[in-house]
Structure 1
Amino acid sequence: MNIGFDNEKYLQMQSAHIRERIAQFDNKLYLEFGGKLFDDFHASRVLPGFRPDSKMRMLMQLSDQAEIVIVISAEDIEKNKVRGDLGITYDVDVMRLMSIFKDHGLYVGSVVITKYSGQQSAALFKNKLEKLGIKVYNHYPIEGYPSNIPHIVSDEGYGKNDYIETSRPLIVVTAPGPGSGKMAVCLSQLYHEHKRGICAGYAKFETFPIWNIPLKHPVNLAYEAATADLNDINMIDPFHLEAYGKTTVNYNRDVEIFPVLNAMFERIYGKSPYKSPTDMGVNMAGNCICDDEACKEASNQEIIRRYYDSRRRALAGACSDEEVYKIEMLMNQAGITVHDRPVVDAAMKRAEETGAPAAAMELHDGRMVTGKTSDLLGACAALLLNALKELAGIPHDRPVISPAAIEPIQTLKTQYLGSKNPRLHTDEVLIALSVSAASDPNAQKALEQLPNLKGCQAHTSVMVGDVDRKQFMKLSVQATFEAKYENNSVFFPKKGV
């Protein structure tokens, strides 16, 4: 994939722009940080060249000025809300975030529990953090939020929240996920700071949608696809257009809430510092696209992957059909179909030829590798093995796994673990390959190619089990799956894939 984004330019521009924004206020800026701070793989996929940890690296350039405040909702703690990408609860993720920030030399000042109304689980979590020496503050539900401005911006509204003691010019307000209350925490602090004679500022850092590229640019459409479950919609910022006569892109929630925010700013400051939602943002990513065509192509591929993922989750009952329909509409707007993803046709053709589940992978140089279901291997395992042999320059007909490595695994599965499927899955084939590598140089050569699978595209002709899907994720293979079960079963097939 061609590089489409200048990451070094981004780090320099972004940190400089945030410093400028800090200077606009009383050397105190509350920066609402949306999205993922150090593992933004979506951005790295749609902006080739963007490193997943770019935002973390940018903050590290501001480490002497920055203080992290982590926000979590008491309601999310109470219901054990889980991060879908990591499979961990939000309270556990708070601990993980603190550890990672500290490991990178960033100062974590405190944790704020929002929407606190006496939830026992939230109180226990607060107690746990305080025993670790972490400052914890409570913010409470406010009656009439967000429309009753006079009540909200008063001693009975924001005034009832704990004042968060901070010590640095840049306060980065982040959270495990959306809906945690980051914006409300920032605005509450503006109110408290103003009462103390400090004219602190507020800004928002969201990578997407990118405000200074076209509304229907594939990069922005890919963001809509990524947030289809939230029903976010990109739109022209009408406030910016009216104030400056310039067309910029924002999304519906920020545009809808801006009049309320503006009224809050006016009540706190006497005058709003911003004329539009776009004004509040500090994102410089649009200025660092160096190959627009590369970013368009990468984003179109991301939209197709999101489409397949939504269909997979819809089949499993994990999302609505409306989410699928929305991404189909985005594909129409981008002028693409699933056939624009080469591995799809390759996998489906191989499945038709063999009459059984099959898989395909496109290597970085464009070579296409396929895998079929056999008595020994599932389609995903066969694909993985064939791809490694292709990368290592090993002839297809030369085995790299000895029967002595396969048979004990099959015996363990069928005779001792009760499985009716003797075929090896992807994790098992890698174990067998590792065992064979101890005595077979070809197996060792194949094993050494694992890092070269990172970023390769793959597709399977049927749904696969969690083991194979998660193994693709661990190898950073960007895999999609046809939303159908083998033999039209509503369960995973007895024979396996």
Structure 2
Amino acid sequence: MKYGFDNNKYLKMQSEHIRERIAMFGDKLYLEFGGKLFDDYHASRVLPGFEPDSKFKMLRQLKDHAEIVVVISASSIESNKIRQDSGLTYGEEVIRLIQTFRQNGFLSDSVVITQYAGQPSADQFRNRLNNLSIHSYLHYIIDGYPDNIDLIVSDEGYGRNEYVETTRPLVVVTAPGPGSGKMATCLSQLYHEHKRGIQAGYAKFETFPIWNLPLKHPVNIAYEAATADLNDVNMIDPFHLEAYHTTTVNYNRDVEIFPVLHAIFEEILGECPYKSPTDMGVNMAGNCIIDDAACREAANQEIIRRYYSCLCDLKRGNSSREILYKLQLLMKQGGLTIKDRPVVTAAMQREEETGHPAVAIELPDGQIVTGKTTDLLGA
């Protein structure tokens, strides 16, 4: 495998940058941690050299100054929402995460249940957490969120939420999956900290899209392919462009919510510390790419892999035509066809020769091995 990413440089640079952001605010930093803390195989596929647990290793360098809060929405508990990669419910994943954090020496004993409205299943989950000596806190639904700023930043809005007791200068806020309420939890905590006279700030850690790579760089297109089911779209950050006359990349949800965040920050802190969504981020991954061509090729392979993965999900009834069409469009944007993935051509040729299903795998040295279907074994 040809390496395109310097993992050691990343571990050092990323942890230093987070320390700088903590110092910027004074007493405390709430760091919204998007994506996977460990087992990030997407990142390791598109950035050859990035280790799947790199982000976790990076946080280990800060563990004496950090604690981890896990967020889950009451609606996810009620619906028994399941993570497709692990097969665990979001509730089970919360407990697994906390156990893993503790086993690795992190302080992690708080769970926030967001969008709480008296759901019996959420109450049962809270009792289970209590039996495991895990503290839990309730955050409530706020009418008109996120647009009704006067209500949100008031005693009837964030003020109604239970305050999460934390003791470390870095509070990492993570979740078992998207839509759990990480950002709202961070902002609610800022409101309560400000009421208590504590100087606290907020920052966001997202590996993708990589803000200092071109919009149509294969690594960023691969992120769109990975989130095709969420309808995430990469775009130029218009606020950053206006403030600094510099082009950076962000994604639509952060750009769309920024005016609201800006207003909420002004209500809580008196002024917004950030001029753009890009400013909120702390991601240093783009600075650790050492071979752009290797990363481009790896990302192109990932885009095609996602296309075939969607085809499989479609046959199983776990995807939709709309997602498939989006992946086809992303392949066109990258100038890709299925022939750009060598194993595809090899497997199809083998199938044509034998008249039966076939498989192909590419070894680290580039050699391709094929497998055919026989009476004994099927490909």
Scaled by the length of structure 1, the TM-score of the pair is: 0.76
Check conservation: 2:362, 2:368, Cα contact below 8 A. Answer: yes
SS of residue paired to 1:172 = strand
Residue in 2 that maps onto 1:349: 349
Residue in 2 that maps onto 1:413: none
Task: Summarize the alignment of residues 68-217 of structure 1 with structure 2, pairs less than 5 Å apart.
Answer: 68-217=68-217
The answer to whether the aligner puts 1:278 opposite 2:249 as a matched pair is no
SS at match of 1:14: helix
Q: CA deviation at 1:158?
A: 0.3
TM-score calculated relative to the size of structure 2? 0.99
CA distance in 2, matches of 1:133, 1:343: 50
Residue 53 of structure 2: aligned partner: 53
Separation in 2, partners of 1:195, 1:327: 47
SS in 1 for 2:25: coil
Q: State how far apart, in whole Å, the 2-side matches of 1:113 and 1:366 are.
A: 48
Cα drift, residue 361 of structure 1: 1.6
CA distance, structure 1, for counterparts of residue 174 and residue 181 of structure 2: 9
**Counterparts of 1:281 and 1:83, CA distance in 2:** 26
Letter in 2 for 1:373: T
Work out the CA distance in 1 between the residues paired with 2:217 and 2:371: 35
Does the CA contact (< 8 Å) of 1:129 and 1:136 recur in 2?
Answer: yes
Deviations 1:190-214 (A, max 9, x none): 0000000112000000000000010
Q: Does 1:63 align with 2:63?
A: yes
Aligned residue for 2:198, secondary structure, equals coil
Deviation at 1:26, TM superposition (A): 2.3
C-alpha separation in 1, matches of 2:361 and 2:250: 36
- Paired residue type of 1:367: Q
Matched with 1:330 is 330
Q: Assess if the C-alpha contact under 8 Å between 2:27 and 2:198 holds in 1.
A: no
Q: After superposition, what is the alpha-carbon deviation per residue over 1:91-143, rounded to whole angstroms, capped at 9, x for unaligned? A: 00011101111111111030100011111111011111112211110000001
Query: Matched residues, percent identical?
Result: 72
**How far did 1:370 drift?**
1.4
- 1:27, distance to aligned residue in structure 2 (A): 2.2
Q: Retained in 1: the 8 A contact 2:240–2:276?
A: yes
Q: Which has the higher contact order (CA 8 A, sep 6+)?
A: 2
Q: What secondary structure, in the 3-state scheme, does the structure 2 residue paired with 1:84 have?
A: coil
Partner residue, 1:406: none
2:266 alignment counterpart: 266
* Contact 1:209–1:251 (CA under 8 A) maintained in structure 2: yes
**Aligned-pair CA distance for 1:244:** 0.5
Q: One-letter code of the match for 1:26?
A: G
**1:373 is matched with which residue?**
373
> Does structure 2 retain, via aligned residues, the 8 Å contact 1:149–1:264?
yes
Q: Which residue of 2 aligns with 1:442?
A: none
Whole-angstrom distance in 1 between the partners of 2:364 and 2:44: 16
SS at match of 2:333: helix
**Residues of 2 paired with 1:44 and 1:162: CA distance?**
38
Deviation at 1:298, TM superposition (A): 0.2
Confirm or deny that 1:358 pairs with 2:355: no
- Secondary structure of the corresponding residue to residue 29 of structure 1: strand
- 1:315 Cα deviation after fit: 2.6
Q: Deviations over 1:267-322 (max 9, x none)?
A: 00111100000000000000000000000000000000001111221232222211
Q: Is the 8 A contact 1:68 1:174 kept in 2?
A: yes
Unaligned runs of at least 5 residues, structure 2? none
Q: Structure 1 residue 249: deviation in Å?
A: 0.3
Distance 1:18 1:319 in 2: 37
Match of 1:470 in 2: none
Deviation at 1:375, TM superposition (A): 1.4
Question: How far 1:364 sits from its partner (Å)?
Answer: 1.4
- Quote the offset at 1:260 in angstroms: 0.2
Amino acid at match of 1:151: L
- Which deviations, in whole Å up to 9, do the C-alpha atoms of 1:301-358 show, x marking residues without a partner? 0000001111221232222211111111111111111101111111111111111111
**Alpha carbons 1:109, 1:166 under 8 Å: kept:** no
* Aligned equivalents of 1:176, 1:283: Cα separation in 2: 20
Name the SS of the counterpart of 1:357 in structure 2: coil
In 1, the alpha carbon distance for the partners of 2:311 and 2:370 equals 23
